[in-house]
Amino acid sequence: MAMLAGAVALEGGSAAAQGGGSQAFGPSNPFYAASTLPYHAPAFDKIKDTDYEPALEAGMAEQLKEVDAIAENPAPPTFENTFIPLEKSGQLFYRTLYVFNAVTSANSSPELERVQEVEAPKFAAQDDAIYLNEKLFKRVSTIYKQLDTLKLDPESRRLVDVYYKKFVHEGANLSPENKTKLKKMNEELSTLENSFRSKLLAAGKNAAYVTKDKSTLAGMTEAELKAAQADAKAAKAEGYMIPLQNTTQQPVFTSLTNRSTRETIFHNSWTRAERGDANDTRATIVRLAELRAEKAKLLGFPNWAAWKLEDQMAKTPEAAIKFMDDVVPAATARATAEGKDIQAVIDKQNGGFKLRPWDWDFYAEQVRKAKYDLNEDQVKPYFEMWNVLENGVFYAANQLYGITFKRRTNIPVYDPDMRVYEVFDTDGKHLALFYCDYFKRDNKSGGAWMDEFVGQSKLLGTSPVVFNVANFPKPAAGEPALLTFTDVTTMFHEFGHALHGMFANAEYPLLSGTDVPRDFVEFPSQFNEHWASYPAVFEHFAKHYKTGAPMPAELVEKIKRSEKFNQGYMVTELVAAAELDMQWHTIPAGQKIGDPDAFEKAALERKHVAMETVPPRYRSSYFLHIWSNDYSAGYYAYMWSEMLDDDAYQWFEEHGGLTRANGDRFRKMILSRGNTEELGQLYREWRGKDPSTGAMLKQRGLVEEPGPAK
């Protein structure tokens, strides 16, 4: 049985629309049978938005029947008559759900939003129907208790262990009346999470900055202005529109010279979901936090975070909090120093004001230019999007792992700008399909992510069909798509997730690929970012899109030095958000939150991350990860994974860097292993020791590296 939702997927959606309704389900539905396309790729040329609901409904019913047959089996429980059919159950449901999750996040429509609104609570109930099935649990538990006498291979043993703990985690040991309570709580939680997502999507749209006065946008390039006009046109508004990104800070701040425009846009961002209208999320998050604490208590945990972290690599909130607290002093000290540098620039220009959050990126960009003379517009022509993909991202994967890529134009896609590649293994055998959907669209959630249309499993005979989504600005017709170095890094990041999915080599769907604890899931992706600036890779893709000339050496040097620039700010905004997440999720049951803004302020102060000029990367009221995307009590995981990826990259550096031998060993011991072994153990076996923060603080430039005096 696969996991209900991809571990790294973000989901999108908005308020319920009218219309639709369930239809009869039969062979004319494209989900009725497994797709006949190569790799069982989704038949996007046949799938209509109205096909999902009947297929999901039929799929859930079918899975319940399959699970019931296992639970009611009169034969004594064995691994073969319990775990194997369990892993094979729900195939119609999952093949529909994976595609449904993909399109609701990346290519939504009113119909899809409606279906999501209707189905979300049913997905939660589906999970409950399985993990609260007493007869099934009894079989699982009987086999679990015999584990030492059974002759199972290590992956099968791991499967039993993970299932048993998941049952207990989901409440299988509860009394019947508490199980009923839990079901009700889960349904309410799911509805609240979905409602948060819908409100936030609408709130974000409404908070876009719209103006007819071009002068307020001084500093933006002609291309950016054109894009702003196109955005306005698409939204049926007059003039120029600057849509909000999902983070607190907005990319446009680096170029806007008009301070009051920056302040207005910042205000729009900061208060987007706190306007006292129908899309205000504050009451929703307070209820979510309080209800989560109650659910944790019912399951026997002191708080939600303790329950969530039980199966993570960190294991306890205390371990995660200690890790974050360790990072705070170095990060805030560096941010304070950076703020002083910026204030000095403001004073030198006789600005006559005190640095505020909406000034930070604008002046930081000037400090960057003064220190490194690096202008994004200078570097962008060297980062044409498809070239970065084929000669950078793919090249690094080829050098490390020996895999090759071929573009396929006969696989249907849901948007004409998408591309599909087939991936071949070292011996030329078919390995996977890889889709990319890189351009920003109105019906796409913000950010970038990876997920799967089809997961790998030897038991099911399936190969991975994975995709990457991003929100890179789409150029005007006939213009090349030019990326910033940050975008380039994002592309390498998401492809790291893709590799984790494509190299999966597990027997069981439950343990395959990226279905790993969330404090491990970002490790392969963040690790893959390192190759973006690795000289042999960088030189291979960083070529001018018109002339093919390599990037001049001094520009390369500037990019390298500027990578450590502004890290105090970046780590502080990240650790502030992570601490905030953990503060919301370590409240005990029964504690009343009261005013969420006051709660947020106190939490930031308590954790020593309340810097006036450095707001958290996400504010509570628009923190999609923790309220709706299953990253609750898990935002620390990004930095935890970073500790792993820097520590791992250090190993590569110590062993000769970008070599096939290093890549093959990493693929064999980490990337192909999914969740088939306890993750701490998996890492230790590969690394030879536990990870530590030393390499991360050095990589971020937060501690001085020993070296020649400046």
Q: Catalytic residue positions?
A: 494
Please report whether residue 312 would count as binding Zn ion according to CB under 5 A.
no
Nearest to 679 by CA among 640, 710, 650: 640
> Which residue lies nearer to Zn ion by CB, 95 or 625?
625
According to CB under 5 A, which residues from 487 to 546 bind Zn ion? 522, 525
Give min distance, CB of 628 to Zn ion, in A: 17
Amino acid identity, position 491: M
Residues 604/606/612/617 CA torsion (nearest 10 deg): -20
Annotate each residue in 186-215 with x if it binds Zn ion (CB under 5 A) or - if it does not, as one string: ------------------------------
Give min distance, CB of 449 to Zn ion, in A: 7
Determine the size of the site formed for Zn ion (CB under 5 A): 2
> Which residue lies nearer to Zn ion by CB, 114 or 493?
493
> Which residue lies nearer to Zn ion by CB, 525 or 672?
525
Annotate each residue in 240-279 with x if it binds Zn ion (CB under 5 A) or - if it does not, as one string: ----------------------------------------
**Rounded to an integer, what distance in angstroms lies between the CA atom of residue 96 and that of residue 258?**
48
> Which residue lies nearer to Zn ion by CB, 6 or 339?
6
**Rounded to an integer, what distance in angstroms lies between the CA atom of residue 457 and that of residue 437?**
25
Give the residues across from 462 on adjacent strands.
457
Give min distance, CB of 413 to Zn ion, in A: 22
> Which residue lies nearer to Zn ion by CB, 59 or 674?
674
Give min distance, CB of 501 to Zn ion, in A: 12
Report yes or no: 574 and 535 within 8 Å, Cβ to Cβ.
Answer: no
> Which residue lies nearer to Zn ion by CB, 228 or 388?
388
Give min distance, CB of 514 to Zn ion, in A: 9
User: Would you list the DSSP string of 64-88?
Assistant: HHHHHHHHT--SPP-HHHHHHHHHH
How is residue 317 written in tokens? 């909130």
**Rounded to an integer, what distance in angstroms lies between the CA atom of residue 488 and that of residue 382?**
11
Residue nearest Zn ion, CB atom distance: 525
Give min distance, CB of 494 to Zn ion, in A: 7
Give min distance, CB of 457 to Zn ion, in A: 23
> Which residue lies nearer to Zn ion by CB, 359 or 522?
522
Give min distance, CB of 622 to Zn ion, in A: 19
> Which residue lies nearer to Zn ion by CB, 338 or 522?
522
State the Cα angle at 270 between 114 and 469, rounded to 5°: 50
Helix (H) or strand (E) holding 438: strand 430-439
State the Cα angle at 240 between 235 and 242, rounded to 5°: 75
> Which residue lies nearer to Zn ion by CB, 197 or 497?
497
Q: Provide long-range contacts, Cβ within 8 A and 24+ apart, for 410-417.
A: 411/37, 411/38, 411/41, 411/435, 412/37, 412/41, 412/42, 412/43, 412/44, 412/45, 412/46, 413/44, 413/437, 414/44, 414/47, 414/103, 414/106, 414/107, 415/107, 415/441, 417/474
Give min distance, CB of 522 to Zn ion, in A: 5
According to CB under 5 A, which residues from 107 to 136 bind Zn ion? none
Give min distance, CB of 485 to Zn ion, in A: 18
Q: What are phi and psi of 462, to 5 degrees?
A: -110, 145
CA distances from 396 to 541, 641, 646, 663 (A): 10, 21, 17, 10
How is residue 284 written in tokens? 């929703």
> Which residue lies nearer to Zn ion by CB, 279 or 525?
525
According to CB under 5 A, which residues from 568 to 607 bind Zn ion? none
Q: Count other C-beta atoms under 10 Å from residue 352's C-beta.
A: 7
Q: What are phi and psi of 277, to 5 degrees?
A: -105, -165
Q: Provide long-range contacts, Cβ within 8 A and 24+ apart, for 347-354.
A: 353/259
Q: Say what angle helices 282-298 and 596-606 make with each other, to 10 degrees.
A: 70
Collapsing DSSP states into helix, strand and coil, what is residue 423?
A: strand
Report yes or no: 522 and 171 within 8 Å, Cβ to Cβ.
Answer: no
Give min distance, CB of 625 to Zn ion, in A: 11
How is residue 237 written in tokens? 């508004």
Sheet of 404-408: strand order equals: 404-408, 419-424, 430-439, 465-472, 449-454
**Rounded to an integer, what distance in angstroms lies between the CA atom of residue 297 and that of residue 107?**
38
Report yes or no: 614 and 355 within 8 Å, Cβ to Cβ.
Answer: no
How is residue 478 written in tokens? 């006939």
> Which residue lies nearer to Zn ion by CB, 211 or 312?
312
Residues that bind Zn ion (CB under 5 A): 522, 525
